[in-house]
């Protein structure tokens, strides 16, 4: 997007088309390039236009609004399939949770980005193949490969959603970082929608109970489940049509949680030593340790994505560098623990999946940490750190495909 803005800087008509085709990414890209364009009359006019914040909410076009409403209702219907068609919830939800809303979001971005039919066919074909495959796997409550496939299938659908979000710029690092920012903005917006929905739910149930109607079960079976399924879709719609709603909240959250998570990790590592907990022989503790690692890594990557579009902030860069170093330490402990368990008790699907994931995360964290180190010591461009994350994304995608499609076959569905 930045390159297109610079190319068409003196073409007002083309700039308007770029803006209208994808407002949020255009605004972010323009904010990044504007410092070098100050003094250009057209650039100054665009800056004033983009920085102007209206108190009115933009509801987009009627067509877009109708599509979002239809998608939200469809998501609710998919979530109700077990009740409507007497399908086992234990069978349906672990395998199909991601299909409730992620393909619908991908369809929304495919429409919004005007993807060519060939690209839509590829994305739709992969999703359909995944849907058939995951539901065709043998049913078992003790299959590790089935559980791994279900978990990693969510990540695969998330990657496919990113491909739809990127549109024609699939190889653009900036677009990949925009996708990370979109996920952060979506998390904030969806949380706000669910909080508001929770307040409305409490008031509604309370008011009906005052007049003698106990509607809890009926409400949650229909209104509640439709609201939960549709919240990410509505949240996406609001972030895309009104980027000003959260584009100042997400950076603040990143700035606040970075130092807090850093402090928590340092204290937590000290508490592990004091408590005597052993990730090498305690399987449950190792699992929680890896979940902690994934959560902290997500915070690091989200913070880097936010920091790369903001004005240079040395303090924030130092916090991210220290957080990355501590996260590498956490990753190293988890990696050594899983290697120890493999050496003692051999390979299992879970151990191999965790080993592969930890190695990939460690390599990515080392790249990010090196970039952050150059940023704070040599005043290098922080955008290079973001590119290190964006360039590595296909590696995660490839590993997800291996776990989803090959692990069940390699380990005989056990």
Sign of the CA dihedral with 410 first, then 353, 180, and 373 last: negative
Q: Model confidence over 152-184: pLDDT tens digits? A: 999 999 999 999 999 888 888 888 888 988 998
Give, in degrees to the nearest 5, the angle at Cα 97 between 93 and 103.
145
b/e for 135-169, b at 16 or more Cβ within 10 A?
A: eebeeeeebbbbbbbbbbbebbbbbbbbbbbbbeb
Give the DSSP letter of residue 310. Answer: S
What pLDDT band is residue 205 in, cutting at 50, 70 and 90?
A: very high
Q: What is the predicted pLDDT for the residue at 270?
A: 87
**pLDDT tens column, 107-140:** 999 999 989 999 999 999 999 999 999 999 988 7
Q: How far is CA 206 from the centre of its chain?
A: 35
What per-residue confidence (pLDDT) applies to 52?
66
| Cβ neighbourhood burial of 358 (10 Å; 0-12, 13-18, 19+) | buried
pLDDT of 265 > 90? The answer is: no
Helix locations, 97-172, DSSP H: 102-112, 117-136, 144-166
Tell me what pLDDT residue 75 has: 97
Single pTM value for the model: 0.84
- Helix axis angle for 12-21 and 41-51, nearest 10°, is 30
Find all residues with CB under 8 Å of 268, minimum gap 6, and list them: 292
Output the CA angle 238-241-245, nearest 5 degrees: 60
Q: Which of 62-76, 181-195, 266-280, 343-357 has the lowest mean pLDDT?
A: 266-280
What distance, in Å, lies between the first and last C-alpha atoms of the chain?
46
d(CA 308, CA 296): 18
DSSP 360: H
Model confidence band, residue 303 (pLDDT cutoffs 50, 70, 90): confident
pLDDT of 307-324, one tens digit each? 665 555 677 788 888 989
Q: How confident is the model at residue 36 (pLDDT cuts 50, 70, 90)?
A: confident
Tell me the angle at which helices 225-241 and 173-210 cross, rounded to the nearest 10 degrees.
140
H-only helix segments in 276-313: 283-307
Whether the per-residue pLDDT at 395 is higher than 90: the answer is yes
């Amino acid at each position: 997007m930045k390159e297109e803005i610079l190319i068409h800087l003196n073409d007002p008509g083309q700039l308007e088309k770029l803006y209208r085709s994808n407002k949020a990414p255009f605004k972010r890209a323009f904010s990044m390039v504007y410092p070098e364009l100050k003094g250009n009359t057209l650039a100054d006019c665009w800056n004033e236009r983009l920085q102007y914040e209206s108190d009115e909410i933009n509801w987009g076009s009627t067509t877009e609004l109708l599509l979002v409403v239809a998608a939200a209702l469809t998501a609710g219907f998919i979530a109700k399939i077990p009740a409507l068609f007497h399908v086992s919830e234990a069978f349906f939800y672990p395998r199909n949770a991601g299909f409730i809303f992620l393909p619908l979001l991908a369809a929304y971005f495919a429409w919004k980005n005007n993807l060519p039919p060939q690209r839509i066919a590829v994305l739709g074909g992969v999703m359909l193949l995944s849907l058939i495959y995951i539901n065709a796997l043998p049913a078992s409550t003790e299959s590790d490969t089935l559980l791994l496939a279900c978990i990693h299938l969510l990540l695969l659908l998330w990657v496919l959603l990113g491909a739809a979000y990127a549109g024609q710029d699939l190889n653009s690092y900036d677009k990949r970082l925009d996708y990370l920012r979109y996920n952060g903005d979506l998390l904030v917006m969806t949380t706000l929608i669910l909080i508001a929905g929770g307040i409305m739910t409490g008031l509604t149930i309370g008011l009906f109970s005052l007049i003698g109607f106990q509607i809890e079960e009926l409400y949650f079976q229909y209104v509640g489940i439709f609201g939960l399924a549709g919240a990410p879709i509505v949240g996406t719609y609001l972030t895309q049509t009104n980027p000003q709603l959260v584009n100042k909240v997400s950076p603040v959250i990143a700035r606040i949680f970075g130092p807090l998570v850093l402090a928590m990790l340092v204290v937590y590592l000290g508490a592990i030593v004091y408590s005597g907990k052993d990730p090498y022989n305690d399987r449950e503790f190792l699992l929680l340790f890896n979940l902690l690692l994934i959560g902290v890594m997500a915070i690091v990557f989200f913070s880097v994505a936010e920091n790369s579009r903001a004005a240079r902030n040395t303090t924030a860069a130092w916090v991210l560098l220290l957080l990355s170093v501590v996260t590498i330490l956490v990753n190293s402990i988890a990696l050594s623990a899983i290697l120890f368990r493999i050496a003692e008790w051999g390979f299992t699907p879970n151990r191999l999946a965790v080993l592969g994931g930890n190695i990939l995360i460690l390599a990515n964290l080392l790249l990010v940490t090196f970039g952050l180190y150059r940023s704070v010591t040599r005043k290098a461009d922080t955008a290079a750190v973001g590119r290190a994350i964006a360039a590595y994304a296909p590696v995660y995608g490839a590993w997800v495909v291996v776990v989803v499609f090959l692990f069940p076959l390699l380990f005989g569905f056990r």
